Amino acid sequence: MSVTSRYREAWEGFWREAPDEQGAVFWDADPAVTAGVHVALFEPHLADPGLALLDLGCGNGTQTRFLAGRFPRVVGADLSEAAVEHARHADPAGQATYRVLDVVEKSETQALHAELGDANVYMRGVLHQADPEDRQPMVDGIATLLGERGRLFLVELSEAAKPVLLGLAQGPSGPPPKLAPIFRHGIAPGEVADDTVPEYLRAAGLTVLAAGQLPLTTTESAPDGTRIELPSKWLVAGRTS
């Protein structure tokens, strides 16, 4: 089962409209406060750092390019062809490779695993944006990509992020400029209950190896000028036998 055409079209519309410059998109924060922080948490749990690293939901590739400087082979993958075009355009040196991938589609994840072998996977703030019926198939697809030796680093908004986002969207002047396109294209973030994320992983045959809490840093500022940070949780998972 692949994602709905509505979901794919929403992301294509968003990324076709998105500016090229780094930081113009709500979640396109500097790697120093995103992937750079996450790598320090992820690396101690890698069974094999030499595996390919797959940045799922890579968007315009800001984090992918950072990761490419730290791992031997990095692949950025996104559902949206327009996003992948942004990523390639921003990486003329070809630090990483990029491709369109529907991780919910079993045949696509199986084909990519056959090409790359077991891979480590980095995914930041993607699960809550998927339709609820696609979340377990998405995690199942990730498990296929991991194989036996790969490890997943997953960052996901916590339940506490919902009131923050609603407050921003319903402010007197409407949502902030970088948040508004998300709602306009029909990809308003959905809530994922905190206790369901480990359940998705267990159902896919994965074991949670480490977990913690960190704010998910955005590129947008609140009316008082402070940087908007959303409560989030992180997990490292993989197969242990």
At 1 the pLDDT is 44
Distance CA 48, CA 69 (A): 17
Distance CA 54, CA 241 (A): 22
Distance CA 216, CA 33 (A): 9
Along the 241 residues of the chain, how does pLDDT read in single tens digits? 456 677 888 899 999 999 888 888 988 999 999 999 999 999 999 999 999 999 999 999 999 999 999 999 999 999 999 999 999 999 999 999 999 999 999 999 999 999 999 999 999 989 988 888 899 999 999 999 999 999 999 999 988 888 887 787 777 777 778 888 887 887 766 678 889 999 999 999 999 999 999 998 899 887 778 888 889 999 999 998 7
The DSSP output letter for 175 is S
At 164 the pLDDT is 82
The two tokens of residue 50 are: 């030499």
**Ramachandran sector of residue 74 (left: φ over 0; alpha: ψ -120 to 50; beta: rest):** beta
- Which positions ≥6 away from 183 have C-beta within 8 Å? 169, 175
Distance CA 89, CA 93 (A): 10
Distance CA 65, CA 86 (A): 12
The two tokens of residue 155 are: 């960052």
